[in-house]
């Protein structure tokens, strides 16, 4: 119990020290979702304890002994010639806990290099990548903790940047089947930057999630409250401006205080679920209102904010697919294959 209290105190201290960091910036790709399961369920750290290696990148407290010797491969067909790739592998060591290594690569394609007059003189590429080492340990039948050390890099033509960050997380699971998770992601700093002399912040965030497998239905429900460190997520989007502009004067009228509070609260909330069809098929879906609020288009009927997915288990393999409606122009496709090498 003393060890648990000490670790939780350190975690809360790290969170408090990091709240001054911004939630967006040059390294925003660190918030990108590469896993099909995570994408189908809203793109946030999953409050789950089922030894799925897909969870290790976003929630290190999910790393456990049963994840040992599992391999995960993910591919994202994002948009045009933009694609993401991820490789994950986990290993358990009895005295120190379980470790998960992850390599993520984001390729943005080829670009023409031109002179000031517009003549093509060559081409170049742009990419982001991160290398992560995650650790997880179960402290008691109810508590588990984890941390991930990550190096994030950018390479755009001849320009480069690098940063060092850490994620910390804790999960509590009750006797009644509830799982509660608290994560603080991307606590760190930039190491170098050849783009310019400015300091580029990391996309720090604190997220809380809860899940429960229902007793009489093969369904797990999940709830999230993201970006705890930042309350006001409302902004003057085109849809907001259109709805609150006086048609006579053309002036922006203030929004009702209670309505604004409710909308702001909703931008933090995500709800999702997994429905199990037997032992080998899982259906997944989620709704992220914050995504819909930020990317929706006035008077357009869209499914922005919704995501769906399916997983099929075949012997030692699990194949997961997801499709997420991020904007009116994009619905990325996510494919993840995980395998238990112990069964070969």
* Structural domain includes residue 91: yes
State the chain's mean pLDDT as an integer.
86
SS3 (DSSP) at 197:
coil
Per-residue pLDDT of 33-87, as tens digits, reads 889 999 999 999 999 989 999 999 999 999 999 999 999 999 998 877 889 999 9
pLDDT at 21 over 50: no
Give CA–CA dist 206/18, Å, rounded: 10
- pLDDT at residue 5 is higher than 60: no
Report the sign of the C-alpha dihedral through residues 228, 13, 222, 280, in that order: positive
Q: Is the pLDDT of residue 260 over 50?
A: yes
Question: Is position 239 within any domain?
Answer: no
Q: In this predicted structure, what is the pLDDT of residue 81?
A: 80
| Domains identified in the chain, total number | 1
Q: How confident is the model at residue 258 (pLDDT cuts 50, 70, 90)?
A: confident
Name the more confident of 269 and 12: 269
166-218 pLDDT per residue, tens: 999 999 999 999 999 999 999 999 999 887 767 788 999 999 999 999 998 99
Residue 92's nearest CA partner among 56, 47, 130 is: 56
Residue 115 is predicted with a pLDDT of: 82
Mean pLDDT of 272-280: 94
CATH number at residue 299: 2.40.160.60
- Give the position of tokens 């911004």: 22
Does residue 117 form part of some domain?
no
How many whole angstroms separate alpha carbon 15 and alpha carbon 261?
25
Q: Residues 98-118, buried b or exposed e (16+ Cβ, 10 A)?
A: bbbebebebbbeeeeeeeeee
pLDDT of 20 > 50? The answer is no
84 membership: H or E segment, kind and range: strand 82-93
Predicted confidence (pLDDT) at residue 22 exceeds the cutoff of 70: no
Does the pLDDT of residue 28 top 90, yes or no?
no
CA-to-CA distance for 26 and 43, rounded, in angstroms? 19
* pLDDT of 19: 40
pLDDT value of residue 25: 60
Q: Identify whether 240 is part of a domain.
A: no
More confident of the two residues 113 and 64: 64
pLDDT at 42: 92
Task: Spell out the residues 6+ positions from residue 306 whose beta carbon is closer than 8 angstroms to its own.
Answer: 285, 286, 287, 288, 324, 325
The per-residue pLDDT for 243 is 67
- CB-based contacts of 259: which residues, under 8 Å, 6+ apart? none
Domain that holds residue 335: 2-110+123-233+268-343
Tell whether 338 is covered by a domain. Answer: yes
Give percent of the chain above pLDDT 90: 56
Q: What's the pLDDT score for residue 298?
A: 66
Distance (Å, whole) CA 242 – CA 256: 15
Instruction: Specify if 64 maps to a domain.
Output: yes
Question: H helices within 267-329, ranges in order?
Answer: 289-295
Predicted local distance difference test score (pLDDT) of residue 78: 85
CA dist., res. 294 & res. 227, Å (int): 14
**At 69, phi and psi to the nearest 5?**
65, 30
In a domain, 242, yes or no: no
pLDDT for 95 equals 83
**In this structure, is residue 238 part of a structural domain?**
no
């Amino acid at each position: 119990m003393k060890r648990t209290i000490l670790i939780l105190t350190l975690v809360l201290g790290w969170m408090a020290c990091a709240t001054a960091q911004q939630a967006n910036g040059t390294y925003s790709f660190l918030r990108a979702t590469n896993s099909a399961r995570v994408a189908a369920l809203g793109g946030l750290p999953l409050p789950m304890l089922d030894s799925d290696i897909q969870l290790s990148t976003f929630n290190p407290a999910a790393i456990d002994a049963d994840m040992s010797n599992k391999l995960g491969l993910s591919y994202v067909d994002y948009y045009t010639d933009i694609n993401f790739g991820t490789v994950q592998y986990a290993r358990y060591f009895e005295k120190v806990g379980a470790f998960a290594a992850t390599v993520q690569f984001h390729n943005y394609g080829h670009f023409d290099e031109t002179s000031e007059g517009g003549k093509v003189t060559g081409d170049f590429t742009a990419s982001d990548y991160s290398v992560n080492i995650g650790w997880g340990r179960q402290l008691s039948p109810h508590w588990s903790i984890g941390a991930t050390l990550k190096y994030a890099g950018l390479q755009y033509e001849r320009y480069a940047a690098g940063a060092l960050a850490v994620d910390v997380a804790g999960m509590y699971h009750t006797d009644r089947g509830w799982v509660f998770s608290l994560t603080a992601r991307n606590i760190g700093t930039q190491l170098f930057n050849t783009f310019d002399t400015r300091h580029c912040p990391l996309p720090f965030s604190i997220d809380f999630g809860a899940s429960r497998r229902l007793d009489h239905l093969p369904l797990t429900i999940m709830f999230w409250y993201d970006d705890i460190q930042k309350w006001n997520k409302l902004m003057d989007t085109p849809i907001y401006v259109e709805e609150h502009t006086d048609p006579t004067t053309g002036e922006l009228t203030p929004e009702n205080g209670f309505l604004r509070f409710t909308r702001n609260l909703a931008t933090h909330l995500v709800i999702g679920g997994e429905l199990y069809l037997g032992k080998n098929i899982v259906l997944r879906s989620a709704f992220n209102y914050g995504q819909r609020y930020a990317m929706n288009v006035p008077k357009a009927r869209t499914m922005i904010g919704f995501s769906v997915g399916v997983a099929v288990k075949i012997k030692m393999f699990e194949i997961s697919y997801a499709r997420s409606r991020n904007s009116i122009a994009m619905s990325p496709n996510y494919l993840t294959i995980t395998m238990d090498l112990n069964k070969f």
